[in-house]
Chains A and B, each alone.
Chain A
Amino acid sequence: MARIKEYLRILTKSPIILIAFFIILTFGSISLGKNAEINQYAIVTAIGIDKVENSDNEVEISLLTFVPVAQQSFTEKYKVIKAKGESVSEAIDFAGLSLGRRVGFNHVKILVINEEYFSDNASVEMDFLVRDKNLALSTSVVCTDAKASEFLEAVQKLDSESSIKIDDIIEFNNEYVYSNESTLETFYKGLYGPSKSSLVSFIALSDNSDEGVTVSANNGEGQAGNSGSQSSSQSEKTIQNDGSTILCREGREIRHLNSEDMKKINFLRGSFVRGSITIENFSDEVFHNARLTFDIYESFINKRVKFENNIPIVNADVKVYVKLTEAKEDDLEIKENVDYKNMSEKAVNALEKEVKSIIKEGLDILRENQCDIIDVYTLLYNHDPNAMQNFLKSLEDEEDYLNHIIFKISPQIYSS
């Protein structure tokens, strides 16, 4: 008893011992037994959503999951896990059950949705994923004509056979084809915006293994020291990227746009850095009946809006920087000034005419489908909300405002 009293006296005299003891006991016991979270969660890098055949409600989820392997060579092994359920969240639960781990969405890069979902409001299926805070809204959204699970298997095959990653393809598309990103965020921004329109990237799958993005025919294994990956994929389909997009309104696909259509629309959207303009049968001092191809280095648009007699007018100044990259002429002689730095006035006029016609075609696409991808509504509303509201009220169909806006396009061509 006296000894206990002595110990208590020491402890109260120097509480640091008590505190240290408490800290080590509490924190030590928590930390000694805690296992790494990596071993409790399945690391998913891509999600696919498909409709189940012969079923109205059922959904099939495919998860491209990383499978850790105890080895020293640091190769990546992926597996596509499929699960069905009445809803996306249920299907993901079942997927987790089959993996024996919880599903973690923190590393998801792409979300693949079968095109069937875009025949109706696709946002209904994405609802679960949007509410999960771990899934970044900067996750790329891809629409595909094949099954999403097959797409993921093709992605897995692509990863295993080459160093081309699906992320690189999507990034390329974002930068050079869409001039914007096709992500969950942009999809919802379009959906909840005044135009209710959005663009979603489209990547097809090809049955023919000679087409699409392939590298070598052998089923190579990853080597130590490289970040190659092992594959257990059975897919014979390959990814075929042709720069397509789907134009959606209220989450539903309105039109399938090819890369040429995108180029036309991109002139109106803002800046972009890919594309070319071709002039046929051109003649001037240098060329005679030539087919000239100009590469677009950069393009900018400056939109100025105003209201005249309650009708909105958009003056669009489009600056395009071009460079001659190809001249096809039957009897082409080698000229000194073949790079055509100082373009003739005729060439400039021809280019301006061509750009104007391209932009008009792009505008027609948007008008036909009542999709204000270029967000003219916001510009007009912010300029004069009352005038805009009056204008909308004056229309029979408020959503058809794009057809009643006057666009005055003034292209300016510059040589880069």
Chain B
Amino acid sequence: MIFLNVDKKIKTIKKQLHNSFDVADRIVEVGEVKVGFIYLKSFTDNLIFSSAIYEPISNFHGKLDFETIKQLIQANDTKEIEEKDVLNNILKGAVVVFLSSSTKMLAVDIQKFTTRTPTEPPTSPVIQGPREGFTEDIKTNIGLLRKRFYSADLVLKNLSVGRKTKTTIVIAYLDSVVSKKVVKEVEKRIKSIDIDGVVDSYYLMPYLISRPNSLFKQVGNTEKPDIVSAKLLEGRVAILVDNSPMVLTVPFVLLEELQNPNDYYTNYIYASLLRFVRLIGVFLALLGPGIYIALQLYHYNVLPIKYLITIADSTQQIPFTPFIEILFISLLFQILYEVSLRLPSYLGLATSVVGALILGDTGVKAGLISPPAVIVVAIAKIALYTIPEQSAQITVLQFFFLLIGASVGLLGIIGGSIYLIAYLNSLENYHTPYLAPFSPFILKDNKDGLIRTTLSNMKERPYSFNNQNHRRQK
């Protein structure tokens, strides 16, 4: 008895896929039953198709029915699907099998991509510690996470986002640790996304936060599985996106940017010192040029006489006003930075020579820029990269403070700082204040704040995240 016209079915599906070049189909007759296979040859494993699906079926001698086919197929991921799910499964790398003697259909997942091996990500180098990094394949990423949690507590929920791309999103969390409210909110936000396609995890960021127009990063991101594991243990939720090596974590606090994976693989006193150095670097980067220009324009009386003489002598012949001079130097640095990002490596040396010697040294000798200004801007730009993840934000704020310092002096810089702190304090996502644990001050969380205590002392999870279970160790 014929329930399904296999040829017609294949034709219909191929038409739905616009007869794309990579659509492959096979039909085999086993006795009176016709079996049809349709799949995308660009990302299915042809070897597995032949050995595990086609051959067992084509070599079968007997009465073939749906249940028999299920047993014949020697692949792990086999499931019965509805008519409406056929296209989705084909597009996700499955082989859809149907029989003329049955209306049921089977999807066998034999997806195979060329993907890179997990290597150390360039954004988070470490001196000691694991060097694995996430890749673009979500299955590999899930595997990297799973092998760090040999426990049933790790929950992975699958979602799909993007009308055209139907990108797989996986939410990961520890069931006995995380706050259920946070998980619900994350799910709700992701499900409410109505977008064409998700190319990278960065696309999801604006939808996960309450103030998407803000300059400040409100979602954590990392390429390292050990960091994600640590964050899960603290009570956060991780969001893995297919085709993106960058995993997102929420809730996010600004303190995370001061912390570095190296801090946990080295002595705690040294790690604390490094955090202070990073903080000083941030202040230098943010406020250095602004304070310099404010002192020069409004408050020369604050400068000691020796520095004053140096600045006065060196700025005598500069044709620009101090603000234009600093702006010019900052822009030069920014242009050099942009160029160095985009140039091939063999041209990098030439750019460095041009930047350092010609623009820097010759500019000073020609009297276009003054040495103190070059030093101040150079220190600020270098200090920017003590926290490279926030370099974008700090760069923008650097210009902001430069403008404020040049127009209203120290009063403006202090005012700008107060405004910045007040604004950051108003940011709150997933019931977690942005500046926790400094503001509001949570004493227990400060064991891993600016100062890092020994790992044996960190007996509780951070209170900033409304966890269910605060106890880490006895």
- Within the complex, are A and B direct neighbours (CB within 8 Å)? yes
CB within 8 Å of B: which residues of A? 14, 16, 23-24, 26-28, 30-39, 41, 43, 45, 66, 68-72, 74-76, 104, 106-107, 134, 227
In this complex, what residue of B is CB-closest to A69? Answer: B313
Instruction: Note all chain B residues with C-beta closer than 8 A to A28.
Output: 403, 407
- Kindly state whether residue B296 has any CB partner on chain A within 8 Å: yes
Spot the interface stretch: B50-58, B176-184, B301-309. B301-309
The 6 closest A-B pairs by CB, nearest first: A31-B406, A106-B301, A70-B316, A70-B317, A27-B407, A68-B312
From residue A70, how far is it (CB to closest CB) to chain B in Å?
4
The distance in angstroms between the C-alpha atoms of A38 and B321, with both chains bound, is: 12
Q: B residues 315-346 with Cβ under 8 Å of A?
A: 315-317, 321-324
In this complex, what residue of B is CB-closest to A24? Answer: B403
Instruction: Note all chain B residues with C-beta closer than 8 A to A26.
Output: 407
The distance in angstroms between the C-alpha atoms of A28 and B314, with both chains bound, is: 24
Instruction: Note all chain B residues with C-beta closer than 8 A to A74.
Output: 309-310, 313-314
The interface bits of chain B over 285-302 (1 if a CB of A lies within 8 angstroms of the residue's CB, else 0) are 000000001001111110
The distance in angstroms between the C-alpha atoms of A295 and B301, with both chains bound, is: 43
Q: B residues 351-367 with Cβ under 8 Å of A?
A: 367
Instruction: Note all chain B residues with C-beta closer than 8 A to A106.
Output: 300-301
- Kindly state whether residue B404 has any CB partner on chain A within 8 Å: yes
Most buried by A among B296, B298, B309: B309
The distance in angstroms between the C-alpha atoms of A43 and B316, with both chains bound, is: 14
- Kindly state whether residue B255 has any CB partner on chain A within 8 Å: no
Instruction: Note all chain B residues with C-beta closer than 8 A to A39.
Output: 312, 315
- Kindly state whether residue B311 has any CB partner on chain A within 8 Å: yes
Given contacts A27-B407, A31-B323, A66-B312, contact A38 B213 (CB under 8 A): no
From residue B27, how far is it (CB to closest CB) to chain A in Å?
58
Given contacts A27-B404, A27-B407, A74-B310, contact A34 B321 (CB under 8 A): yes
Question: Is the Cβ of A227 less than 8 Å from the Cβ of B306?
Answer: yes
- Kindly state whether residue B408 has any CB partner on chain A within 8 Å: yes
Instruction: Note all chain B residues with C-beta closer than 8 A to A45.
Output: 305
Given contacts A28-B403, A32-B324, A45-B305, contact A37 B312 (CB under 8 A): no
From residue B213, how far is it (CB to closest CB) to chain A in Å?
7
Question: Is the Cβ of A27 less than 8 Å from the Cβ of B408?
Answer: yes
Given contacts A16-B213, A38-B296, A74-B313, contact A32 B323 (CB under 8 A): yes
Residue from B213, B293, B301, B321 within 8 A of A104 (CB atoms): B301
The distance in angstroms between the C-alpha atoms of A76 and B317, with both chains bound, is: 16
Instruction: Note all chain A residues with C-beta closer than 8 A to B301.
Output: 104, 106-107, 134
Q: Main secondary structure on chain B at its contact with chain A?
A: helix
Question: Is the Cβ of B311 less than 8 Å from the Cβ of A38?
Answer: yes
22 A-B pairs with CB atoms under 8 Å apart are: A26-B407, A27-B404, A27-B407, A28-B403, A30-B408, A31-B293, A31-B407, A32-B324, A34-B321, A34-B322, A34-B323, A34-B407, A35-B297, A35-B321, A35-B322, A37-B297, A38-B308, A43-B305, A68-B313, A70-B317, A70-B367, A104-B301
Q: With A35-B321, A104-B300 given, name 17 new contacts (CB 8 A).
A: A27-B407, A30-B408, A31-B323, A34-B297, A34-B407, A35-B297, A36-B296, A38-B296, A43-B308, A68-B309, A69-B313, A70-B316, A70-B317, A74-B310, A74-B314, A106-B300, A106-B301
The distance in angstroms between the C-alpha atoms of A356 and B308, with both chains bound, is: 51
Given contacts A69-B313, A71-B313, A72-B314, contact A34 B308 (CB under 8 A): no
The distance in angstroms between the C-alpha atoms of A104 and B213, with both chains bound, is: 47
Q: B residues 117-142 with Cβ under 8 Å of A?
A: none
From residue A66, how far is it (CB to closest CB) to chain B in Å?
6
Question: Is the Cβ of A76 less than 8 Å from the Cβ of B407?
Answer: no
Question: Is the Cβ of B309 less than 8 Å from the Cβ of A76?
Answer: yes
The distance in angstroms between the C-alpha atoms of A34 and B403, with both chains bound, is: 12
Instruction: Note all chain A residues with C-beta closer than 8 A to B317.
Output: 70
Instruction: Note all chain B residues with C-beta closer than 8 A to A35.
Output: 297, 321-322
The distance in angstroms between the C-alpha atoms of A43 and B308, with both chains bound, is: 9
The distance in angstroms between the C-alpha atoms of A41 and B297, with both chains bound, is: 11
Question: Is the Cβ of A107 less than 8 Å from the Cβ of B305?
Answer: yes
The distance in angstroms between the C-alpha atoms of A35 and B314, with both chains bound, is: 15
Question: Is the Cβ of A66 less than 8 Å from the Cβ of B297?
Answer: no
The distance in angstroms between the C-alpha atoms of A27 and B411, with both chains bound, is: 14
Residue from A34, A37, A107 within 8 A of B406 (CB atoms): A34
The distance in angstroms between the C-alpha atoms of A24 and B306, with both chains bound, is: 34
The interface bits of chain B over 366-389 (1 if a CB of A lies within 8 angstroms of the residue's CB, else 0) are 010001000000000000000000
In this complex, what residue of A is CB-closest to B315? Answer: A36
Question: Is the Cβ of B297 less than 8 Å from the Cβ of A43?
Answer: no
In this complex, what residue of A is CB-closest to B324? Answer: A32
From residue B316, how far is it (CB to closest CB) to chain A in Å?
4
Instruction: Note all chain B residues with C-beta closer than 8 A to A134.
Output: 301
Instruction: Note all chain A residues with C-beta closer than 8 A to B300.
Output: 36-38, 41, 43, 104, 106
Instruction: Note all chain A residues with C-beta closer than 8 A to B322.
Output: 34-36
Most buried by B among A36, A66, A134: A36
Instruction: Note all chain A residues with C-beta closer than 8 A to B306.
Output: 227
Instruction: Note all chain A residues with C-beta closer than 8 A to B407.
Output: 26-28, 30-31, 34
Question: Is the Cβ of B308 less than 8 Å from the Cβ of A107?
Answer: yes
From residue B363, how far is it (CB to closest CB) to chain A in Å?
13
Question: Is the Cβ of B313 less than 8 Å from the Cβ of A37?
Answer: no
Question: Is the Cβ of B309 less than 8 Å from the Cβ of A31?
Answer: no
From residue A21, how far is it (CB to closest CB) to chain B in Å?
13
In this complex, what residue of B is CB-closest to A76? Answer: B309
The distance in angstroms between the C-alpha atoms of A123 and B55, with both chains bound, is: 113
The distance in angstroms between the C-alpha atoms of A278 and B112, with both chains bound, is: 102
From residue A13, how far is it (CB to closest CB) to chain B in Å?
11
The distance in angstroms between the C-alpha atoms of A74 and B370, with both chains bound, is: 12
From residue B117, how far is it (CB to closest CB) to chain A in Å?
44
Most buried by A among B297, B306, B310: B297
In this complex, what residue of B is CB-closest to A28? Answer: B403
The distance in angstroms between the C-alpha atoms of A26 and B406, with both chains bound, is: 12
The distance in angstroms between the C-alpha atoms of A69 and B321, with both chains bound, is: 17
The interface bits of chain B over 400-436 (1 if a CB of A lies within 8 angstroms of the residue's CB, else 0) are 0001101110000000000000000000000000000
From residue B409, how far is it (CB to closest CB) to chain A in Å?
10
Q: B residues 146-192 with Cβ under 8 Å of A?
A: none
From residue A186, how far is it (CB to closest CB) to chain B in Å?
23
Given contacts A14-B213, A30-B407, A31-B406, contact A43 B312 (CB under 8 A): yes
In this complex, what residue of A is CB-closest to B326? Answer: A31
From residue B371, how far is it (CB to closest CB) to chain A in Å?
8
The interface bits of chain B over 269-285 (1 if a CB of A lies within 8 angstroms of the residue's CB, else 0) are 00000000000000000
